Structure 1
Amino acid sequence: MTDKRYVIVGNGIAGTTCAETLRKLDPNCKITIVAAEPYPLYNRVALPRFLKGIVREEKVFMRTFEQHREKGIDLLTCTVAQHLDTNEQLLYLDNGQILPYDALLIATGGRPNKLPCEGGDLPFVFNFQTMDDTKNIIREATEGKSGVVVGGSFISYELAEGFAMRGLKTTWVMRGPRFLRRTLDEEGGAIVHELAREHGVEIIYQDEVEKIVSDDGVRGRVITKKGREIDVDIVGVGVGLTLNTDFLQGSPIRINRGVVVDEYLRTNINNVYAAGDIAEFYDVIIQSYNIMGTWDNALSQGRVAAINMAGGNEIYKEVPTYTSPLFNSNIAVIGATPEINPNLEYVVRADIDSKEYKKLFFIEDRLVGAITIGSPRGRKRMISMILAGEKIEGPRESLLDLK
């Protein structure tokens, strides 16, 4: 018998959790993490607070190179996977190295889409995903006076809030009728609009950036398809992700929206697993496939994937939950929403004056998801009900009063 060789592609929270769990389960195994960035694990959830100036850069980092060495985890930074040979169980890297494996985890997440217009590649136009992105945005925002944010996603919200807190005159442009248009309804969108307006953020709906022009490459003008012209020093972009599956092309790994895995986080190839943002996992709670790009979800999946890579048989069963500050309020997305299944039944309560919003989603007689703005009351109870698959007795509207 030889020591097992584990290879993990991606060193976010899913990949790092998997590696550290494997080390606990198998002290003699060989573990290699392939990381595209130059850093060990850092807290991506903390990047918006770093952008806003609430936390210092050093507080964002969660691991050091020394900690990886102490755990016997070989971390290859600035390294990109290029090709996967599942027959020979070999991973080919861009530096010419070839890694043999006994079990492999795909935890590569996605890369933010560029703004698809003329001027979308100007030096003052930024995506917001990595530590380096954040440091570059802070540098430009410190020198600027005005900014435009593009997109209706959580990333675009975080940019809008970050710009406003950095003192920029902030305009937020989205092509949809509201923030999170596939999840929030008109009333929920109106509450977010008021929260943004109170923080000095102007939102422009149902318009798109046609081009960005600049005379000096340092500042410019955003021109929209409806003819608006906005002077800017910095542009932030949050228009979705492209999943990092390039190295899987030509392999038999099944890819749909993401890398398709079963309830054990196993792909259609027995010794290859996926976790985190890239995993299109079979959600045993709603009994359909789901993608949930949240920190907690990735952490839990990294742990379960490690157990099963090491020979275990644990089902991934969690209620995917995303919580975030929302200007001076907060938002939570729990379990299944219309973005996953547009046919969900629901009950809703919205109060524009108090800026409180709660919408609950159902499949037959079971609560399967929720979205709330404002008070967190009832969230823990909702999660426990979804996880347990409790049948609802009595009117669904009564669940709006859960505490």
Structure 2
Amino acid sequence: METKYLILGAGAASSWAVRGIRQEDKEGDITIVGKEPYRTYSLPLLSKGFIQGRYPEDKIFTVKEDFYDTNKATFIHSNGASSLNTSKKTVELENGDEITYEKLLICTGGSPLKFQIPGSDLRRIYYLRTLDDAKRIKAAAQSAQEAVVVGGSFIGIELSAALRELGLSVKLLMMEKYPWQNLVPEEIGKYFTKLMKEHGVSIYVEEKVIEFAGENGLANSITTESGEVFEGDLFGVGVGISLNIDFLKDSGIEIGKGVVVNEYLETNVADIYAAGDIAEFNDLILGTSHLTGHIENAQFQGRTAGRNMAGAHEAFSQVTAYDTEIFGTMLMFIGASQYGNEHIIRGNTEEPLGSFSFKDGKLVGALLIKPGGKEIRAVRELIELADSSLLYYKDVFSDPNGDLMGLLKELKDPAY
């Protein structure tokens, strides 16, 4: 099989890449290869409503059933890449088929990291990454009573909240001292710890899981390094992902923490691009190369990569944002707070409204609790300014009523 544009992966970056290609090239053949049997759907909605029953399956898809036909694209589902030959410009699929391409986009995402400890092969242990994973958890929750969830980042926290909403008793175990420890200041983490406890989630910090135990092939307890034993009849695990890039071994594509790309999202091999979770990209705003694993980043990178595959020459420069919602309280992540070396809490430390992170005086990221639309827009643009004087305006950032939009206008137009 031959195609002009080959896209490996069928997630958010993939569908937005199709749109990007079609902005520049209305007719070139597009082929998409996806591991799952589904068209693009929203990963965040799995834990933000699907498991709880708030969203039926047909409401989580982000493209219509006729999306591929409308865009003159061929969708090969339930398949994946097994190897890439960059000199021949061919990809071999897991079923043995071979596709020859002119331009290639790799956006294969990640898979859950799985425990390799005693008992980790028992049933009733669930990982959440795909729609089928969510279906299994949703079904198991109908008869379960006591859930034990492992992981102090997004999946662990959101899954704990989802299962609690379904009426299960929930214990959340994490190695960290508070939720999202690698991403948020302690004040924000402790605020959400308190919120989750108020809604009935029992939280155990600095606990390392060393063993699952069970009977008749079914897990019924977890043991941690401290000697604590936590019993349950449903076990959820969210301890990170591994990138789906093993098939690139020996391909000649540069691999660092992920697939290394330049500001145009092109790899070191001509005509091959990467986007989404796997792309280690040159962040023109922050001045550093890094991975960013969330849906908005995948969407915008996919669109840019698609346009560039089809002849554009557009650098990716975007302050992206994503959110989580825990028991009705939204936390918005804007930019990359984890790269800041100085943090300012907005409001008081007991009931913070967010935080702002600075590096070399420049605003690089923010966390906003229950934000408004204007506030989000102002923060995005303040980060884009890359102004090293922003730290001088500490009072505006720390004041819960500080006028961020006014500050933005003042910096853009001193006569304002």
**TM-score range for the pair, normalised by the shorter chain length:** over 0.9
Counterpart amino acid of residue 44 in structure 2: V
User: Which blocks of at least 5 consecutive residues in structure 2 are unaligned?
Assistant: 405-416
Question: How is 1:344-359 mapped onto 2 (pairs within 5 angstroms)?
Answer: 344-349=341-346, 351=348, 353=350, 355-359=351-355
Amino acid at match of 1:381: A
Q: 1-side partners of 2:349 and 2:119: how far apart? A: 38
Query: Counterpart of 2:377?
Result: 380
For residue 392 of structure 1, what is the aligned residue in structure 2? 389
Question: Can you list the C-alpha shifts for 1:352-399, whole angstroms capped at 9, x where unaligned?
Answer: 55x324221223332111123344473221111112334536432322
Q: 1:82-109: per-residue Cα shift (whole Å, max 9, x none)?
A: 1111111111111111111111000001
Once the 2 structures are TM-superposed, how far is the Cα of residue 166 of structure 1 from its aligned partner? 1.0
* CA-based RMSD: 1.8
TM alignment of 1:4-403, pairs within 5 A: 5-48=4-47, 49-338=49-338, 341=339, 344-349=341-346, 351=348, 353=350, 355-376=351-372, 378-392=375-389, 394-400=392-398, 401-403=402-404
Residue 183 of structure 1, CA deviation: 2.0
Q: Within 2, Cα distance between the matches of 1:298 and 1:374?
A: 24
Q: Name the amino acid aligned to 1:32.
A: T
Distance 1:23 1:4 in 2: 15
Contact 2:150 2:237 in 1 (8 A): yes
**In structure 2, do the counterparts of structure 1 residues 384 and 313 end up closer, same or farther at CA, with 3 Å as the change threshold?**
same
Residues 91 and 99, structure 1, Cα contact 8 Å, conserved in 2: yes
Distance 1:24 1:344, change over 3 A: same
- Native 8 Å contact 1:367 1:392 kept in 2: no
Per-residue deviation at 1:297?
0.9
Q: TM-score, normalised by structure 2?
A: 0.91
CA shift for structure 1 position 4? 6.7
How many residue pairs were aligned?
397
Deviation at 1:15, TM superposition (A): 0.8
Q: Deviations over 1:291-315 (max 9, x none)?
A: 1111111111111001110111001
**SS in structure 2 at match of 1:302:** helix
Find the aligned partners of 1:121 and 1:157 in 2 and give their Cα distance. Answer: 23
TM-score (norm 1): 0.94
Please say if residues 108 and 278 of structure 2, whose CA atoms lie closer than 8 Å, have aligned partners that are also in contact.
yes
Deviating more after overlay: 320-329 vs 132-141: 320-329
- The one-letter code matched in structure 1 to 2:386 is G
- In structure 1, C-alpha distance between the alignment counterparts of 2:353 and 2:379, rounded to whole Å: 15
